Amino acid sequence: MTKALAQTYTIAHTYRRSITTALLMGCIVSALFYAANLYRVISHTVALQHITQEAKELNASVQALDAQYLGISKNITPDTLDVYGYGQAEVSAFISRASLGRVALAGHEL
């Protein structure tokens, strides 16, 4: 038993510098990994806050435009459309069921 302890002590004493260096390097790598992840989380949080703020501003803008549209659309009548040159259009060509029936009879069935 004394021989095993002496051998373990000798190995630890011989490689003490390497073991300490490896542990310190592991701690440094872990600290750098933690700092990188912390920075990433903070940057994502800030970006999310900016996007949320922009979404609120866009929503307010859409609501204002919607209210403006509703206010303007209440004033639209056929008389006001005539003032701006809009009138009832005449349809010059259209498709009816009768013309579709003639196509089917000609052998070009739908």
Q: What is the pLDDT of residues 30-89, one digit of tens each?
A: 999 999 999 999 999 999 999 999 999 999 999 999 999 998 888 888 788 788 788 777
Residue 9 has pLDDT above 90, yes or no: no
Residue 41 has a pLDDT of: 98
Residue 93 has pLDDT above 80, yes or no: no
pTM of the predicted model over 0.75: no
Residue 49 has a pLDDT of: 97
Res. 94 pLDDT band, cuts 50 70 90: low
Residue 2 has pLDDT above 80, yes or no: no
Rg (CA), the chain: 40
